[in-house]
Structure 1
Amino acid sequence: MVSATRAAHEIEVTAESLQEDLARLEIQKQALERELAAVAAHLDSVQRALSALTVLMAEPSGRRGAEQPEQPEADAPVVAPAARTARKQSAPRQAERRQKEKPVASSHAEAEEPRSYGALTEQILDYFAGVGDAEVRARDVAAALGRDTDSGSINAVRSTLDRLVGTSRVRRAGRGLYRAQES
């Protein structure tokens, strides 16, 4: 009888421990999903920036005079090094890549729609609309958005704030301080 009671107690302790582990793992999973979403958004913005730079490098006007070769043949196109690398891809792959980089609006109405931002960017812009002219830290923004559970989530907020500063949607008020952009 004593061993049955002891076994039941051990099972109960193990179940409680597993419940605690489950709750901790669910929180960790959510944090990792948020961090993955932030990394994916950052990856997308870096890919777009790299694509834009590649296009600029391929333009003849974007080349410096000292780097230009002697007069090319009239029918031979001048191609920047990045464009030469892109040329190695097959034509269908290049067309597919260009379509992903620059989606074409199928109608005039679509072309005039405002640009859609990522969820985190929209949340941050909404937050700044609510705080008015106050100076806030990235950690405060992360806390207000419920994204202060780990350093990865806070860094995602910081990175997004830096991108918003770069696009003049938010302004830097001082070291580590951000403020809504004045209209």
Structure 2
Amino acid sequence: MKLVILDRDGTINVDSDQYIKSPQEWQPLPGALEAIARMNHAGWHVVIASNQSGLGRGLFDVASLNAMHAKMHKLLSAHGGRVDAIFYCPHTADEGCNCRKPLPGLFEQIAERFGIELKGVPVVGDGLRDLQAGVAAGCEPHLVLTGKGEAYRDRPLPDTFPPGTRVHADLAAFADYLVSRPAPRPVA
């Protein structure tokens, strides 16, 4: 199975320090929906892993989150794309859960749901925590220079990023990279 795991806010859609709280606030980044569709058309299954502490903070409810995702699915569908599953952590940092990135709990849930190991599965995010969580589960780290990642544009990544982190201008540039690289050979 060709699987790629994406962060949501700052990777697929515009991010906000005030949190994305409604479908009206959920706005796709330029080229992001087309990028997901390109990955799908090349045989990739796309899954989202996202911290959504705004739920735990009472800034929005699950119905609002579902409405944001319904909007995303509808807009993606118009581009011929889809997201196969969305995994999110509703907890605040002080709740001590295992699913809040940078911990790997969401990724463990993804591995269990799809019945696969995540070794070598690309994880794409706009921040260090996204990549740390993925790497802890065996994923291959990819940083996009959108959202929080814009802070690293035109400068080297700090040593705090996982070794081997690949950097892409945005999700469209990552999709170009992903669909153009040779497919992995099956293990005999």
TM norm structure 2: 0.22
Larger strand proportion, structure 1 or 2?
2
Larger helix proportion, structure 1 or 2?
1
- Give the number of the structure whose alpha-carbon radius of gyration is greater: 1
TM norm structure 1: 0.23
Higher RCO, Cα 8 Å, sep 6+: 2
